[in-house]
Amino acid sequence: MTLGCAKLDQQVADYLAWDQNVTTRSEIQKLLDEKNVDGLKARMNTRLVFGTAGVRAPMQAGFGRLNDLTIIQITHGFARHMLNVYGQPKTGVAIGFDGRHNSRRFAELAANVFIRNNIPVYFFSEVSPTPVVSWATINLGCDAGLIITASHNPKEDNGYKAYWSNGAQIIGPHDDEIVRIKEAEPQPREEYWDLSELKSSPLFHSADVVIDPYFAIEKSNNFTRDINTSTPLKFTYSAFHGIGYHYAKRMFTEFGFPASSFISVAEQQEPNPDFPTIPFPNPEEGRKVLTLSLETAEKNGSTVILANDPDADRIQLAEKQKDGEWRVFTGNEMGALLTWWIWTNWRKANPNVDASKVYILNSAVSSQIVKTIADAEGLTLHFFLAISHWRKMANPARDGYLEFANEPELPGEAENNPPAVERRSTLSEDSSLFQDRLPTENSITPEQAFIHMVKAMLGTGLLSLPLAFKHSGLFLGLILTIVICLICLYCMRQVVFAAHFVCNRNGRDLIDYANIMRGAVEMGPPWIKRRGYFFKQLVNVNMFISQLGFCCVYFVFMADNLEDASEVLRSLDAFKFRLRRFEFFDGTLLVVHLSFNKTGHRPMARDRHWPSWRRISLDSWTRTCGLLPARISSDGFSGQCSKGRSKVFATVDDLKAALEVSMGFDRRRTPCGALSNFGVRNVLRACVKARGSNFEILL
């Protein structure tokens, strides 16, 4: 079956030939049978690449989604890159997984690919927090690390987060090289699918041996054990249906807190890949995802809430205030609190350590309060401004002591430095969606981007600005223009952020407006998720209407200007100025000679320009009027007809009406054929300039 696109036909054929998972193969086969070209293009034309937090995508069939085949392809690229760098890796890879759908299977497939390439594997037998896998990579001396997790993404997603030997997430050139090999060698080897000998292989080891040492090293950061053991505080903890509960509970025990101080949100403490009690599994969302936590805290008299995301590398903090209200802290606020607490206690424990090599890492979009703290304390600290992303912040720790990394996320990637503190309590992972995009030679400055966006926001409205200012006035018009520009700029900024987020989630480089809306809706609460296609089409309809409106504005603008131009030309052609005689009267005298034929009541002049049907009924005074003397001013004229019948023309409109009648314009039948005020005023101005002269305008 052909789809009319050779490239797509080949992609579909390759996928069906290479994928050995019956479920995902049937997905593609169904789309093929339905000839759903758009659906197949969405699945096939995109490619998975490493973003700000590894690879993340929906779990579906296709080369642009996460499934058995693409997990094998990425891991093959990873393994081949390790072989190219290390020759033959000796220590291997630490591998973990979270509690999402397919996470364990994806981890086992990845482990099998490594082992088939003679690379040892250290595999966690149960779900494990992301920071523990990062730390295991260092503790076991592995060449690399891997965890299958999508962190706080929706339940439909999964992810592939890779570490290098320093426990930090891979950055360039490693990530680019892995993708290059994956694309160059897409067809998986047959043995990659056979998991029967995985756990019996001599290269397969358990990574569970690092768990106890992990808690042991964390206990070294317990500065207030005596206070902890007698604290009256109660802490409410939520794992958000993730994997943090057992680790958090043990951490409280290791730090000396009494059992009564740790209260878990029972409905959310065990892993559940469907996240049934929360609309979005991200504690950073605040109150709307902390409903059960707040209820549990109130019920048990707790004053502090701690909530991890599903892979336990991010945390949210809330505290009950004296007035009974709950304050949910921001990432920057938590970053400032932890910076102060960690530095103060570390310095007390290490008074003689040279502080010149202590780093506080702070990203470009995080609050600069940590630098203020350092300055206020009079410390010699290197303030490292991370302009890319937190995955690139852990590597400078190799040069000295990493005291704190404030993105404001603490990823756990720098635990190889002894004084470094526990990184499991993540504060914010994606506070900036664009930090990993470094400037290029084609980049523009923020000021230029601002100007471009202002121009884009005004758009067709520029054509209507003169009219807008005419009705609103200069001062109000300027203010409203600025306000509207700012509103539009904010909206466009949100659209760009949403586009980047959806692209990262779907593994795409580009996305249109309609699919931004669809992606956003499908990541929303359950009641709206299934309406993504409807909202996509709604955006398309509205964009069609708006574009039609823009075209109408252009047409109206051009028509108005063409009309004005044609009236000017017609006015100049209609009035032939000729000085007849030079006589003096009281004021300026205008003599308008109205010439008509006596039978047809049709103008004699320019008869060839007007159709024969353009006949008009003239008033009786107009039929008999020959010369019409008039006193001229800049606003109008007055006069009396030559036959003695009084007729006063007080305004320009009166003159305009008389001249239209004299020239044969029938306003009822030819609305666009009438004279303009502009043309009539030109006549008056010409007459006023000749003030004191008596002349006639010959029509």
| Residues designated catalytic | 151
Cα–Cα dist 69/193, whole Å: 9
Tokens of residue 217, six digits: 């090293």
Is 617:669 a contact under the CB 8 Å cutoff?
no
Task: State the DSSP code for 232.
Answer: -
- DSSP reduced 3-state for 105: helix
Is 208:200 a contact under the CB 8 Å cutoff?
no
Span between the terminal Cα atoms of the chain, in Å: 77
Cα–Cα dist 664/313, whole Å: 84
Tokens of residue 61, six digits: 């069939």
Cα–Cα dist 488/351, whole Å: 53
Task: State the DSSP code for 587.
Answer: B
Cα–Cα dist 358/698, whole Å: 95
Tell me the HSE value of 433 on the side-chain side, using a 13 A CA sphere.
Answer: 13
Cα–Cα dist 445/592, whole Å: 65
User: Phi and psi of 419, rounded to 5°?
Assistant: -80, -5
Residue type, 325: E
What residues have CB less than 8 Å from 655, skipping those under 6 apart?
A: 636, 637, 649, 680, 683, 684
What Cα–Cα distance (Å) separates residue 336 from each residue in 23, 342, 511, 591?
Answer: 48, 10, 36, 88
Strand partners, 402: 359
